Each structure stands twice: as structure tokens, then as C-alpha cells.
A = this chain, B = another copy of it.
């Protein structure tokens, strides 16, 4: 996962380096379209996908606005997944889901390319380190243990008994707007999930199960496949149709019985 895009050969160079060191490496692209320098977006995307990979997977993430500065580079073991990345908060959400088993600061230049540039550590440091890890070099070889990883301050939903105030944190390729309100948050205010969702000047008065439960072109709210509240349009772009942007507020309230009766 990087923010390198696909027009240059930056990702290709990293893969060439990896294959040169570990010819058997099997490489999967998570995405290279993280918005440039957007560590929060990368942290979110990473946390939603890493657990679908097999045990012993090495996850290489390069979203690295601090490249060439004194920021640390780390290898971090979380359950049976290994992460190689700059220590800039990329793992903030991953380590909320599962405990860190060990982290080391990457320092041993034996495992870098012979020439290290000041602008492309993805190719010169992270890729060769990941490849040597894949070859079975133990984590402890790369540098000293560290415990004080950097964490991002990510917007958390504001939860009371009567409502949740969250925001839109991701808009996907289809225009679905994903919020920072989790399934478990919704259950706090109504275990049966009889909820109304307000955003901009619009209101949705129920949670749907899937896109196709409403007519084509209709706005709906549902629990996304990554367990967050999502605002969508069946076969359309909620982002465009409802004019939604990152950071927009979303308010969730229980539908109380009397209201329900009145509405009928």
C-alpha cells in the first residue's frame, strides 16, 4: 500500500528490489491510490483489509511525508501479521484491533540497498527490508526493540445515550460515504438498530440490509462490509447525489416508539 499512484514506475522499482532479494515473493497490491501524504486514509484502509490476508503476511506500507527526515522506520508484529512502514501513525487503527507483539526500529544498513536516496526509502529501505524479512531474517536483526510507536489522533464519534455524532471519513470508488460510526456504536443507542440518520439537510429513517432493498437511485444507510455506518445510493453515487464530502457530520438517533406510531 502506497500513495505513489500508478503512472510512475515507483511501485515497479520496489517490486524489482523485492524480487532481487526474495525471488519467491508473492506480491499483492492493496492500493497505490492513497491520497498523497494522507496517513489517516492509509491507516483506515489498512485496518479494514489486513486481516483478510494469510498468517505470516508481510504488509509493506509507504505513505511517508517525512521521508529523509529523522522519523523512524519500523517493523511491527501484530498477531501473526508483520508490518513494515514509517513510524508516523499508519498502524494506529491496526493496533487498536489487536495487541502489538513486538516492534523494532529499522536501523541495520546491511539490509538496505547500497545507495540510499533521501527521497525514496520505499525502494531503498522498506522494500529490501520487507524482502529480507520474507527470506526469514528475524525481526531482531533489523534494529532495537521500540515500544513508543506514534499514533494519530483520529476523529472519534461523540456517543451519548440518545445520539451519536460522527463524520464521513472515506468516500469509496462507488461514491459510498463511510462514517466513523461503528456497528457496535449503533447497538449502544438501540440494540435493535431502529435508527434515523441525519446528514446535511437530509434524513434516512431506517437502516437497510443491502443496496438492493431500496429502489434504484434511492438514498439508504446500512452497515458497510467493514462494519461502519455507510450512506449509499442504490446503483448511484451518494457522494454526488447527496453532495457529501469528507468530514461532513452525521447524526444518528433512535426512533422512539411514539414517533414511530405517529408516523404510521
Residues of A within 8 A of B (CB): 1, 4-13, 15-17, 19-20, 23, 26-33, 36-37, 45-46, 48-50, 52-54, 57, 65-69, 117-120, 123-124, 172-174, 209-213, 222-225, 230, 235, 237
Whether A124 contacts B225 in the complex (CB less than 8 A), given A31-B9, A45-B8, comes out as yes
Out of B28, B173, B225, name the residue touching A16 (CB < 8 Å).
Answer: B28
Chain A at the B interface: mostly helix, strand, loop or mixed? loop
Whether A225 pairs with B119 at a CB distance below 8 angstroms is yes
Compute how far the CA of A167 lies from the CA of B223 in the bound complex, rounded to whole angstroms.
41
Q: Which residue of B lies closest to A32 (CB)?
A: B6
Whether B117 pairs with A67 at a CB distance below 8 angstroms is no
Whether B172 pairs with A7 at a CB distance below 8 angstroms is yes
Compute how far the CA of A178 lies from the CA of B132 in the bound complex, rounded to whole angstroms.
31
Whether A118 pairs with B67 at a CB distance below 8 angstroms is no
Given contacts A27-B28, A69-B210, 5 further A-B contacts (CB under 8 A): A8-B173, A36-B173, A69-B212, A119-B210, A119-B211
Whether B49 pairs with A12 at a CB distance below 8 angstroms is yes
Compute how far the CA of A49 lies from the CA of B174 in the bound complex, rounded to whole angstroms.
25
Question: How close is A58's CB to chain B, nearest CB, in angstroms?
Answer: 13
- A57: chain B residues at CB < 8 Å are 16
Q: Which residue of B lies closest to A4 (CB)?
A: B173
Whether B68 pairs with A210 at a CB distance below 8 angstroms is yes
Out of B17, B45, B172, name the residue touching A52 (CB < 8 Å).
Answer: B17
Compute how far the CA of A7 lies from the CA of B205 in the bound complex, rounded to whole angstroms.
30
Whether B68 pairs with A16 at a CB distance below 8 angstroms is no
- A49: chain B residues at CB < 8 Å are 9, 12-13, 16
- A172: chain B residues at CB < 8 Å are 5, 7-8, 10
Compute how far the CA of A26 lies from the CA of B17 in the bound complex, rounded to whole angstroms.
14
Count chain B CB atoms within 10 A of each CB in A1, A7, A32, A65 and give the residue with the most.
A7
- A66: chain B residues at CB < 8 Å are 212
Going nearest first, the 8 A-B pairs with the smallest beta carbon separation are A68-B210, A5-B173, A120-B225, A16-B52, A69-B212, A118-B210, A16-B53, A12-B30
Q: Which residue of B lies closest to A69 (CB)?
A: B212
Question: How close is A170's CB to chain B, nearest CB, in angstroms?
Answer: 8
Compute how far the CA of A119 lies from the CA of B12 in the bound complex, rounded to whole angstroms.
27
Whether A20 pairs with B52 at a CB distance below 8 angstroms is yes
Whether B173 pairs with A7 at a CB distance below 8 angstroms is yes
Give 8 A-B contacts (CB < 8 Å), ordered by A residue: A5-B174, A9-B45, A12-B30, A13-B49, A15-B28, A69-B213, A118-B209, A124-B225
